[in-house]
Structures are given as structure tokens and as C-alpha cells.
Amino acid sequence: MSSAYDPNNIFAKILRGEIPAHKVYEDDAVLAFMDIMPRGDGHTLVIPKLPARNILDIDPAALAQLIQAVQNVALGVKAAMGADGVTIQQFNEPAGGQVVFHIHFHVIPRFEGIPMRPHSGDMAPPEVLAAHAAKIRAVLAN
Ligand code: 5GP
């Protein structure tokens, strides 16, 4: 059984503006921003604004709205980064690889012949994240 939603998780803090993020898209229901430890250039996270721990507890209608936003962000990220493909990842509970317990989809641009970077725990330089965010934001704004 899943644990309860923790309103002090890091993405809830980003949603409340308590910690900064390189945002690329926002509407009433969703927020998209750069992953701080990108596994590929342009690695973006898409989250709902409502509290949900993961796919096991989110309201199905909210999930439907979220996945539409994921598609939109994937199209924008792919175009902005000039990628050949996109990997979408979504993890549930610690055994499923989840580390941050506010549901999120990973949108990772992929390039022919370039493997995904390992999850090293290295943070990308803020200026690199800012530059990628600016490119993606410009495409998603249109
Ligand atoms: P997951 O829960 O899907 O395994 O991974 C959580 C993701 O959140 C990781 O890819 C990690 O790099 C990212 N992450 C963790 N802390 C922060 C943070 O403070 N800001 C941002 N933008 N991303 C984070």
C-alpha cells in the first residue's frame, strides 16, 4: 500500500515557490521544469499542481490531463532541442525507482547513438539549465 502524500516534498516546494526551478511551461493544472540532474540535455519534468504521490493514487481525470501536458511538452522539448526521439519515464514508490513523491513524468530528449547519462547525482550548471529552459520555453510559448 502507498504511503500518504507528503506536502513537504521538493516538488511541492517548487509549486509553492519556496525553492527555485527553471520553468518551461505552466497552466492552471500543470508545471514543467528542468530536471536538476539531467540524464540528457533538455531533461524536463512535468507535474500536476494537485497533490498526488504517484500513478497509484492520482485521480484518473487529473492523470488524463497530465498525460496530455506530457505529450505537449514532449513535442516542444523535441523541437527545441533538435532531438531525434524522446524517452518518457515515470516511477512509482521506492521499489519502482521513485525518489521524489509528487507524481512526475520525465521527458528526456534523445539523439541517435548517444546513450542516456547515468543517474550520477551530479547537478547541471545553472547556466546550462537556464539556456535549455529558455530554448524550450520559446517553443512551448508558441
Ligand atoms: P524519480 O523520483 O523519478 O526517481 O526522480 C526524481 C527526479 O527529480 C530526479 O531525476 C532528480 O534529478 C530530480 N530532482 C531532485 N531534486 C530536484 C530539485 O530540487 N529540483 C529539480 N528541478 N529536480 C530535482
Grid cell 504521490 in the structure block, residue? 53
Residue 25 CB–ligand 1 contact under 6 Å? no
35 within ligand 1 shell (Cβ under 6 A): yes
Residue 69 in contact with residue 81, Cβ under 8 Å? no
Query: Is residue 130 lining ligand 1, measured as CB closer than 6 Å?
Result: no
Q: Give the C-alpha separation, 71 to 122, whole Å.
A: 27
Q: Is the model's pLDDT at 142 over the cut of 90?
A: no
The dihedral sign for the CA sequence 71, 74, 76, 79: negative
Is 96 touching ligand 1 by the criterion CB < 6 Å? Answer: no
Ligand 1, atom 17, lies closest to the CA of 36
- Cα-to-centroid distance, 61 and ligand 1 (Å): 24
CB 1 within 8 A of CB 57: no
Q: In angstroms, what is the span from residue 11 Cα to ligand 1's centroid?
A: 8
Integer Cα distance of 135 and 91 in angstroms? 27
**121: pLDDT strictly greater than 90:** no
In the structure grid, which three cell numbers stand for residue 24, read together?
A: 518551461
Q: What is the CA radius of gyration of the chain?
A: 14
**pLDDT tens profile 66-115:** 999 999 999 999 999 999 999 999 999 999 999 999 999 999 999 999 99
